[in-house]
């Protein structure tokens, strides 16, 4: 391992606080390391992290916007649904009323028809009865005349 000793001659004393050319060289080394790490580590990793942060915030904003849109659409649809329900209710009511009306009308016409028929029948019966009565009266008269003639003929 003696190759590590670049020169054997005139080795200084050493000591804890031995400041020498190590200092500026180490400073240069740290500065070089700064530039190296800047291009190898800080810039690429920073770019990735900040890109991701940007991506997340835009996605979040996007999602928020979409959520708003969804809520607006939902409200609109609810409104439409309520309108449709009201329309359906109204249609049902109308139909029920119409059915009721038709039913009443039908009942009324049928009742009137029946009444008319009954009246007609009653009148016919009356007329026939009267006719029959008058015929009967005629017959009674005839018979009584005949009876009287017979009685007169007998006596």
Taking CB under 8 A as the rule, does residue 7 contact other proteins? Answer: yes
Q: What is the distance between the terminal CA atoms of the chain, rounded to a whole angstrom?
A: 194
Residue for token digits 């200084």? 12
What CA–CA distance (Å, rounded) separates 90 from 97?
10
CB of 32 to other proteins, least distance (A): 9
CB of 63 to other proteins, least distance (A): 17
Map the footprint of other proteins across residues 17-46, applying CB under 8 A.
17-27, 29-31, 33-38, 40-42, 44-46
What CA–CA distance (Å, rounded) separates 90 from 98?
12
| CA of residue 49 relative to chain centroid, distance | 44
What CA–CA distance (Å, rounded) separates 121 from 129?
12
CB of 47 to other proteins, least distance (A): 8
- What residue ranges bind other proteins (CB under 8 A)? 1-2, 4-7, 9-12, 14-27, 29-31, 33-38, 40-42, 44-46, 48-49, 51-52, 55
């Amino acid at each position: 391992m003696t190759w590590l000793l670049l020169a054997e001659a005139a080795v200084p004393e050493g000591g804890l606080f031995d400041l020498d050319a190590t200092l500026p060289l180490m400073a240069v080394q740290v500065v070089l390391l700064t530039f190296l790490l800047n291009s190898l580590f800080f810039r690429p990793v920073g770019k990735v992290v900040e890109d991701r942060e940007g991506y997340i915030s835009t996605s979040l904003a996007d999602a928020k916007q979409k959520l708003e849109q969804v809520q607006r659409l939902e409200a609109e649809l609810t409104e439409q649904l309520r309108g449709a329900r009201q329309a359906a209710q109204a249609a049902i009511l109308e139909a029920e009323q119409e059915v009721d009306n038709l039913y009443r009308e039908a009942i009324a016409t049928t009742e009137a028809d029946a009444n008319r028929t009954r009246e007609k029948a009653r009148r016919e019966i009356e007329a026939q009865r009267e006719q029959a009565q008058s015929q009967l009266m005629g017959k009674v008269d005839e018979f009584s005349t005949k009876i009287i003639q017979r009685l007169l003929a007998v006596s």
